Structure 1
Amino acid sequence: MNLFQFILVGINYKKTEASTRGLFAINNQENSSLLKAAKEEGIEQLFVLSTCNRTEVYAVSDSIEKVFQILAKHTKGGIDLLKEKAYCKFSEEAVQHLFEVAAGIDSQILGDYEIIGQLKNSFKIAKQEKVVGTFLERLFNTVLQSSKSIKNNTNLSSGTTSISFAAIQYILDHITEPSSKVFMVIGTGKIGINTCKNINDYINPKELWVTNRTEEKAMSIANELNITVQPFKQINENIHKADVVIVATNSADYIVKKENIFPNKSRCFIDLSIPNNIDVSISTISQQTLINIDDLSKINDQTLALRKSNIPKALEIIAIHVNEFNEWHRLRKFAPVLKLLKTSLDTLNHQSTKASQSNSKEVNYIVNKVASELRTKQQPSCFYMQAVQDFIKQPNFN
């Protein structure tokens, strides 16, 4: 395939607010449906990344319009709004973007390493739907290697700056005596779990409750962290008792609604979801404070300054891995020649009256030598003919 066929269509926090991003967010089930539809439209390789920061489609396709239409069809924002707010990248630019996303360089909170788990989940869904070919497989594996190297060799992800910790930092900065408060976390995904852990570690509140539609998941987390499970069906009743309510779910609709909230006391609501899972109009109710992801991303501290200083080193590591991937892709076009060469030499060896194990080793040596020459000189037909002639001229060949 031509590298120019590699296309990215995306929407992220840089051009859109959380409410707009929510219109294009997709859950795992919707992700699978989109991939199936794309395959029916002739797009054989793609995956979709949907997080609180972005929704991005990475595809191998000859048609950018087809990618736009598929994403619009499976989200709520519509094609006109998508085209107005989206960005498109092709070829090397799309490859570079994916590497920077995986490193956390393009994250709303710089260096946020939670993106790796989200990328792995997206790619897992794509593999389950059989829309991952050799190109995407190699690209994704190289991206993971790059991200791991950056994690191990830089301070880009150092400290505790992440969406889940940003919520804790906000609470510590804005709520008086948070350790005397009752906290409720709704949702037991990765961000919800990390939030519960951070609340325990940094606040140690009077009470910490967790609730989830699937009570078994909530029980598992509660047992691990020694916190209290509250039944999901009693969510509104428990919100009235809580001082801080943190929502980290992936619902298509509001989990916390304005009509169920009464100003009987001061509360802080923190929405870590995309689309918004807390009714935005709650902020108009007396004594009720609502904070969302975009608000939290504005938090700046020494950790962020340290991470910024590590961007150049991270980009150097990315450049090494991007070059490695580009070299692999460039040599892929010679694969048919090398395969034909090996087949031809094996056939000659078998036809020779002196066919031997040493000749078989010579076959592999010559194929590897030609591959090396192709890396620099790129003349497959000339090297093919020369290799066959050199093999025939061997003393062992008759």
Structure 2
Amino acid sequence: MKNISDFHIAGISYRNTDAETRGRFAINEQQYRNLLSTAADFGIEEFFVVSTCNRTEIYGFAPSAAHLAGFLCSQTEGDAGSFHQLSYRKNGRSALEHLFHVSAGLDSQILGDYEIISQIKLAVKTAKENRCTGLFTEKLLDHTLQSSRNIRSRTQLSSGSVSVSFAAAQYIRQHFTETADKKILLLGTGKIGRNTCKNIVSTLGTKDITLINRTNAKAEALARELGIRFQPYECLETEAARADVILVATNAPQPTLLQKHLEHSAASLVIDLSIPNNVEMSIAGYKGICLVNVDELSKVADATLQKRKLEIPKAQQLIQEQINEFKNWYVMRQHVPVIRAVKSTLENIQQKHMQQDSVPLQSDDRIQKVLNNMATQMREKNEGGCNFIWAINDFMASS
């Protein structure tokens, strides 16, 4: 079992960087796979990376958080020096607490946004498939997921409809006096795109929505599900020309909506839901267009957020309970060799006792009872070899 003090995190988030900066350190799927395949060259065996529109963080075992950060930046557009200046770094219990807070939505740009937990789950799953996780990481994920489930079921931290996708629909509503007659183009039908589209359909009262995706089948499937239009990627410029609102959720490494696409467009609002930015920056102000990114969307006010803030103490208490359970497991895993040795010793003592008294060897729960008592002592007091002696004395006294 690895030493918990060697578990580190290095990351940046919306708290200390803007969307453009986060974009330089965002990790796409291919970059993540490159990290997984080169980890051994950096002396890293167990790690995972969480990269979303709000944050890029690397968690794992390494000599230091700076070592992890340098490894991460080997695949980013941004350099390690800049990342070091901008990033926060934690280790041991502090790193554990950070992960639990992030997974609960307590550190999300919109408080209580629980989409992050599925992103963490996918990050660890991908790392596991590439043999870059171990017992510690997988058990930590189990407790993180349980903590998130407890918070969702026992608090109102994620109640109501508040997320980046919801905020996008709200922003459109605030931007226009009437929304029912607006023509909306959504580029990108991944998870964020799907959620945004569903929010628009349910809240804006319009179905004049057109979907475009590089993989036409995905756009077609969502369009059929929601009863809206879809067009092939080659029709982007044509569809942009008829749209009043354009939303971009492509999460590509480079901009996918360019100024040239809008030469004949009358759109007055463009919303970029991607990190790094997937809308060419020159579009801001072009022909009077209002360009909005995820940082602006996070400022959309909603009464729900005020209610969620009241749930923070409850969520923190549930997190603490789950962290304590994980630490108990961690402590006991460290003592497994000692417990096995004690069990073997007690079995030998019992067997010799039976042979000397010519009594047939029989099933006896005394050993298990002693081991259970010993485990309890170990959790409460870490006294090393004293536990071994205590267990043998306890067994002899009960014989």
For the aligned pair, the TM-score class normalised by the smaller chain equals over 0.9
Q: 1:5 corresponds to which residue?
A: 6
2:101, 2:397 → 1: CA distance? 51
TM-score by length of structure 2 reads 0.94
Asked whether the 8 Å contact 1:349–1:355 carries over to 2, the reply is: no
Shift, 1:75, TM fit: 0.5
2:393, 2:317 → 1: CA distance? 43
Give the one of 358, 361, 365 matched to 2:363. 358
Q: 1:163 corresponds to which residue?
A: 164
> Aligned pair in 2 of structure 1 residues 386, 237: CA closer, same or farther (>3 Å)?
same
Is 1:93 aligned with 2:94?
yes
Q: 1:272 corresponds to which residue?
A: 273
Q: 1:37 corresponds to which residue?
A: 38
In structure 1, runs of 5+ residues without a counterpart are: none
3-state DSSP class of the match of 2:385?
helix
In structure 2, runs of 5+ residues without a counterpart are: none
RMSD over aligned Cα atoms: 1.7
1:266, 1:133 → 2: CA distance? 50
> Aligned pair in 2 of structure 1 residues 264, 57: CA closer, same or farther (>3 Å)?
closer
> Aligned pair in 2 of structure 1 residues 355, 241: CA closer, same or farther (>3 Å)?
farther
> Aligned pair in 2 of structure 1 residues 337, 169: CA closer, same or farther (>3 Å)?
same
Is 1:373 aligned with 2:377?
yes
Shift, 1:135, TM fit: 1.3
Shift, 1:325, TM fit: 1.7
Shift, 1:390, TM fit: 4.7
Is 1:301 aligned with 2:302?
yes
Shift, 1:350, TM fit: 5.0
- Equivalent positions of 1:57-76 (< 5 A) are 57-76=58-77
Q: 2:282 corresponds to which residue?
A: 281
Q: Which contiguous aligned blocks of 4+ residues in structure 1 show a shift greater than 3 angstroms?
A: 346-352, 354-357, 388-395
Q: 1:217 corresponds to which residue?
A: 218
3-state DSSP class of the match of 1:372?
helix
Aligned residue pair count: 394
Asked whether the 8 Å contact 1:37–1:70 carries over to 2, the reply is: no
Shift, 1:264, TM fit: 4.5
**Match of 2:47, as an amino acid?**
L
Asked whether the 8 Å contact 1:39–1:131 carries over to 2, the reply is: no
1:57, 1:367 → 2: CA distance? 38
Shift, 1:379, TM fit: 2.5
- Equivalent positions of 1:53-132 (< 5 A) are 53-132=54-133
- Equivalent positions of 1:188-207 (< 5 A) are 188-207=189-208
Identity, % of aligned positions: 41
3-state DSSP class of the match of 1:144?
helix
Shift, 1:328, TM fit: 2.3
2:395, 2:360 → 1: CA distance? 12
3-state DSSP class of the match of 2:85?
helix
Asked whether the 8 Å contact 2:112–2:308 carries over to 1, the reply is: yes
> Aligned pair in 2 of structure 1 residues 393, 187: CA closer, same or farther (>3 Å)?
same
Shift, 1:349, TM fit: 4.4
Shift, 1:164, TM fit: 0.1
3-state DSSP class of the match of 1:179?
coil
TM-score by length of structure 1 reads 0.94
3-state DSSP class of the match of 1:180?
coil
2:243, 2:286 → 1: CA distance? 16
